[in-house]
Amino acid sequence: MKILVAGKHGQVAQALVRAASSQALDVVALSRAEMDITDRQSVETAIADHQPAVVINAGAYTAVDRAESEIEQAFAVNKTGPLNLAKACDGAGIPLLHISTDFVFDGCKESAYIETDVCKPINVYGQSKLAGEEVVAKFNGRHIILRTSWVFGGEQNFVVTMRRLAQDRDQLNVVSDQVGGPTAASHIAETLLTIAKAVVRPHFADWGIYHYCGSPAVSWYEFACEILKDEPSVGVSAIPSADYPTPAKRPRNSVLDCAKIRSIFFITQPDWKNAVSLKKEKQ
């Protein structure tokens, strides 16, 4: 089975390439230069050339704060990109697996979000990702939208930032009033490959939105404490979001309920702490 992946150099795409090679799956990842998802012709040509059985969209505009001032660019990649992919996949009669985010929610719910909860994004990135979900659902009935959160496992993420800051500072202040599920890119990759193998089976019918994130849910402060637990010389203090103003507002509660993916695909929530310590061992 051939799987075509958009956004080759991203955290999840890189993890997909690694996971596929260990499972002897034929995954072809294309960079923006090879398949620019904002360009309809580029997407159609790539799908015609590679003839995949499934497409995974791991390409996205992910600069949450910059999106507040680069609205057009965020929507081009996060809405027009999935639109082009959905239409091209529909034309080719193949499924599209699309990755989305906890940021489609406003964070005001007191418990974990389920797939049918009302989406009300509070920043441009979340709005652009929600627009992407809507066009995927509208233009290709054979779609899986996988919402995930707090991704780490590449070169630019919270884990890397905390470890870098810990090298030159003895005190870090980290926000403690935003809660979510950190998720290793490697776990998302394995999940996407499991889903890809399921959706190509004849009679598969469980299309739609799924939530998937690591467990346990924690605040950014608790996440930082775990990342730096072997660095006793660095102090970590909890601060409120109000003391760390950013251009984009963030949801207070980003926790995703992952019961649906467990019941349909038998995929359970991974413990993100194992992935953090594994990453450290590799350095």
- Judged by the rule CB under 6 A, the positions of this chain that interact with ligand NAP are 6-7, 9-12, 32, 36-38, 58-62, 77, 81, 99, 101, 129, 148-151, 154
CA 126, 111, 114, 192 torsion-angle sign: positive
Q: What is the rounded distance in angstroms from the CA atom of residue 126 to the CA atom of residue 122?
A: 7
Indicate the DSSP class of residue 50: H
- Reduced to 3 states, what is the DSSP secondary structure of residue 225? helix
Nearer to ligand NAP, 9 or 279 (CB): 9
Nearer to ligand NAP, 150 or 210 (CB): 150
Confirm if 223 and 238 have CB atoms less than 8 A apart.
no
**Cα–Cα nearest to 136, from 44, 56, 197, 20:** 56
Nearer to ligand NAP, 97 or 236 (CB): 97
274's tokens: 């194992």
Rounded (5°) CA angle 46-130-265: 75
Confirm if 8 and 16 have CB atoms less than 8 A apart.
no
In the complex, minimum distance from the CB of residue 199 to ligand NAP, in angstroms, rounded to a whole number: 18
Nearer to ligand NAP, 37 or 144 (CB): 37
In the complex, minimum distance from the CB of residue 235 to ligand NAP, in angstroms, rounded to a whole number: 25
In the complex, minimum distance from the CB of residue 232 to ligand NAP, in angstroms, rounded to a whole number: 28
User: Which residue of this chain has its Cβ atom nearest to ligand NAP in the complex?
Assistant: 10
Options 61, 113, 125, 221, the catalytic residue? 125
73's tokens: 């660019």
Nearer to ligand NAP, 59 or 232 (CB): 59
Confirm if 191 and 275 have CB atoms less than 8 A apart.
no
Indicate the DSSP class of residue 261: H
Q: What is the rounded distance in angstroms from the CA atom of residue 43 to the CA atom of residue 39?
A: 6
Is 210 catalytic? The answer is: no
In the complex, minimum distance from the CB of residue 85 to ligand NAP, in angstroms, rounded to a whole number: 10
In the complex, minimum distance from the CB of residue 99 to ligand NAP, in angstroms, rounded to a whole number: 4
**Catalytic (active-site) positions:** 125
